[in-house]
A and B are shown apart, each in its own frame.
Chain A
Amino acid sequence: MTDTQRLRVNPIACRAHGLCAELLPELIDLDEWGYPLLAAGGAVPAPLSDQAKAAVAACPTLALRLRTTPNYPQGVP
């Protein structure tokens, strides 16, 4: 367990507004249908932390979230 911050998209909630990619182009690209593609599994380098928070706060459907527990723990279903 590390305390790396990680972005995660709730794919059901996401409606492809695309604000996240405008606010955080370093980490978020959009696919041809307008849905976000996260670089590096969503891991947020410390210098981009504030920008990531702004992108999360801007998501109209609250689909983009920032979590400090990075990966789902190993060894569970």
Chain B
Amino acid sequence: MSGRPARDRDVTTVPSDVFAAPTTGPRLMAGWADTARPADLGAHLGRYGPLPGAAALIDTVHAAGLRGRGGAWFPTGRKLAAVASGRRRSVVVANGAESEPCSDKDHALLTVAPHLVLDGIVLAAKALGTDDAIMCVHRGDPVVAGVRAAIAQRAGFDSVAVRLVEVPARFVASEESALVNFLNTGEARPVDTPPRPFERGVRGRPTLVDNVETLANVALIARFGADWFRSVGTTATPGTMLITVGGAVARPGVREIPLGTTISGVLGPSGDGSVGAVLVGGFGGNWVALPSAADLRLAPEDLGAVGGSLGVGLLLALPAYACGLAETARIARYLAGESATQCGPCMFGLPAIVGDLDALTHGAPVVGRLRHRLGVVTGRGACAHPDGAVRLAASALTAFADDVRAHAAGRPCAGVGRAPVIRVPTVTGPGLGWR
């Protein structure tokens, strides 16, 4: 040490070039991987460096090719630019209300690296020229205490004070129009769009609604740049993704993987045939059969190319002995019960689809009627909730095609009577819990 007077370690004054960007391995979870401790503000800044400025951030995020991690994979730079083009002062909403019952990736991120998310919120707000920023998590969620503590640690550190709001823990309540509706009216159900939140959102202002993992990536891009961000992942979808791995796997939990990792790259070689199929992207996601889909890359463009959707980072492995149709019927019943019961095709269509799936599971020849119903529901709700349920059921008919033929011919498989593999929560009830 030189002869300078001793003082408290103040990492914010250290030049940023001493902070090495993570080159390989986890980015968002780097601190957790090294220390197995949630990062407080000091540890966070010590690892990633001081909060950079937000000049040209929108262009940098655009150049980085960041896409939203909430499930839609929309280009974040374009969304930022759309919000910025509004005339009124905007609002930033960080969506940490993780409603996929088997997903834990947003909880994990908010638990181990809350300051990365808060950095992203503050940077997005600065780039948009606003100090109005809200973090949404589920009411009573175990992450609330940690997030509240992290926000408190930053008092006097940021020019933007992030407000924590707890929202009802319903599946559809964190859909972006529902979230904005809750913030405006206290009712967490989707609304008809347009106008979309980016043009008229919270209190009528242009509103950026971004998933917390997306905003954490904004914080990294602002520090380390677009080229660094693009050094992993695919050309169309650079970066890493957090993914919850569950079902019939040896090591369940949340991992951070490069976009474009194959299914077998996540699950390990499944040559023993013990896993028959995986559900990719959440309950409103897609079944794919193994081993044929073992080399399918987890990237929105690759799922799109096979008629699916990457959705949220979630991969559930179904053992070969289980009945995929019975599992699908149970999940679909949950989704039908989580309808906000506002739009006819959702509130009547989903229960009808569930009825067909149940009947097929038990050996009734209803595939034709089911296919017809799956063909008329998509795109006819105010939100994409019914589309997800249709995607789930339609993908089951493809991934479990052999089972479908056997069941429809009155020969249900032996897996029907088994205990469920995928844990499906009980439904709150359609009219309850929206406020």
Contacts and interface: CB of A to CB of B under 8 A. Distances in A.
Interface of A: 9-16, 31-35, 37, 72, 75-77
Contact of A12 (B78, B342, B349): B342
A32 B369 CA distance: 11
B27 to A, nearest CB: 24
B42 interface: no
A1 B337 CA distance: 39
A41 to B, nearest CB: 9
Q: Which of B74, B344, B352 has the most CB atoms of chain A within a 10 A radius of its CB? A: B344
Contacts, number: 53
Contacts of B74: 77
Contacts of B194: 72
B435 interface: no
Contacts of B346: 11
A14 to B, nearest CB: 6
Contact of A76 (B192, B196, B376): B196
Contact of A10 (B78, B82, B192): B192
B192 A77 contact: no
A34 B344 contact: yes
B310 to A, nearest CB: 17
Nearest to B80: A77
Contacts of B79: 77
Contact of A33 (B191, B198, B342, B344): B344
B191 A76 contact: no
Given A10-B192, A12-B342, A72-B194, A37 B376 contact: yes
B82 A31 contact: no
Nearest to B373: A32
Nearest to B190: A12
A45 to B, nearest CB: 21
Given A16-B344, A75-B78, A35 B380 contact: yes
Contact of B342 (A11, A37, A75): A11
A37 B349 CA distance: 13
B51 to A, nearest CB: 26
A77 B198 contact: yes
Contacts of A12: 190-192, 342-343, 382
B297 to A, nearest CB: 25
The dominant DSSP class at the A interface is: loop
Given A16-B344, A31-B376, A77-B74, A11 B198 contact: no
Contact of A31 (B191, B198, B345, B382): B345
Interface string B159-198: 0000000000000000000000000000000111010101
B381 interface: yes
B157 interface: no
Contacts of A35: 344-345, 348, 380
B92 to A, nearest CB: 14
Interface in B77-97: 78-79, 82
Interface in B378-406: 380-382
B180 to A, nearest CB: 13
B82 A77 contact: yes
26 contacts: A10-B192, A11-B192, A11-B343, A11-B345, A11-B346, A11-B380, A11-B381, A11-B382, A12-B191, A12-B192, A12-B382, A14-B343, A15-B344, A31-B344, A31-B349, A32-B352, A33-B348, A33-B352, A37-B380, A72-B194, A76-B82, A76-B196, A76-B198, A77-B74, A77-B78, A77-B196
Nearest to B176: A77
Given A35-B380, A76-B78, A77-B79, 14 more contacts: A11-B344, A11-B380, A11-B381, A12-B191, A12-B342, A12-B343, A14-B343, A31-B345, A31-B349, A33-B352, A34-B344, A37-B376, A76-B82, A77-B78
Contacts of B376: 31, 37
A35 B345 CA distance: 7
A3 to B, nearest CB: 18
